[in-house]
Amino acid sequence: MRYCEACKVKVDNPLEHCPLCFHVLSPYDDAPEEESYPDYQGAVRRYNLILRILLMVSLTAGATCLTINLLTGRTFLWSLIVIVNILYMWLAVPIALRRRYSVGFKVMAQAFLLAALVVAVDWIIGHNGTWAYDYVLPFLFVTAILTITVISIVKRVKLREFILYFFLIALLGFVPLLLLAVGLVRVSWPSLVSALYAGLSLVSLFVFADKATKMELKKRLHF
C-alpha cells in the first residue's frame, strides 16, 4: 500500500504515481501504531512509594514525640495529641480525596472524625471532655448541617441524591442534647442551639422535599 502526500489518501495498488494528482506515492506502513496509553503500573508504583514514605514519616514523627515526651519525665502526655492528629489525617484525607464517595458521606464522615478528634484531645488535656461536649460538638454538628445545605444550593445537587446523609447529619445535631440529658454537658445553650437547628432542618426537609425525595428517604430507611 502507498500514500499520496498531496491528496492525503491511501492507494491500495502497486502504482508509482497517484491516480488523482499524479503525485509520486510514498511507501505507507499500515502496521498498527504502538499504543500510547499511560503507564498505569508505573503510576501505581509511584503512588505506593509516596504512600509508604508518608507512612514512615508519620510513624517516625509519632514515635519521636512519644519518646521525647517520656524522656522528659513529664506527666502530661502531649505526644498523644500528635499521635491522635496523625491518625485523624490518615482517616480523613483519603475520604476527602476519593471521588467514589458522595458529598453527603464525606461531610458526615468528617463530622464523625472531627468529633472523635476533639473529644480525644480534650480528654488528653485533662478537661474530661467538657470543653468538647459543651462547645465544640454542638457547633461542629451545626456546621455540618449548614455545609451540606449550602452545597446542595450552590452546586444545585438534587436533594434526593444524598437525602439519607442529610437526615443522618441532622440527627447528629441532637447528640449534644442527649449529652446534656445524661449530665456530660455543663453549658446548656450550645446544645439547645444545635438541637433547635437540627429540628428546623428536619422540618424544612419534609416541608420542601418533593414526593419522590420523601419516597427515596423511606426506601433508604426501610420504612
* Domain coordinates in residue numbering, the chain: 1-36, 101-223
Distance CA 154, CA 38 (A): 35
pLDDT at 143: 92
pLDDT at 60: 94
Q: Which residue has the cell 425525595?
A: 213
**Ordered per-residue pLDDT tens for the chain, 223 residues:** 777 877 777 777 777 777 777 777 787 665 444 444 555 566 667 778 888 899 999 999 999 999 999 888 767 888 999 999 999 999 998 888 887 788 888 888 999 999 999 999 998 888 776 788 999 999 999 999 898 888 877 765 566 667 778 888 888 899 999 999 998 888 999 999 999 999 998 888 777 776 766 676 667 666 6
pLDDT at 221: 65
Question: What does the DSSP assignment read for 92-131?
Answer: HHHHHH-TTS-HHHHHHHHHHHHHHHHHHHHHHHTSTTHH
Give the three cell numbers for residue 167: 437526615
Tell me, what amino acid is at 46?
R
Distance CA 68, CA 79 (A): 8
Single pTM value for the model: 0.70
Question: How many Cβ atoms sit within 10 Å of the Cβ of residue 138?
Answer: 29
Geometric angle at alpha carbon 109, from 104 and 110, rounded to 5° = 100
Distance CA 34, CA 1 (A): 19
Strand order in the sheet with 9-11: 9-11, 2-4, 26-27
pLDDT at 206: 78
pLDDT at 161: 65
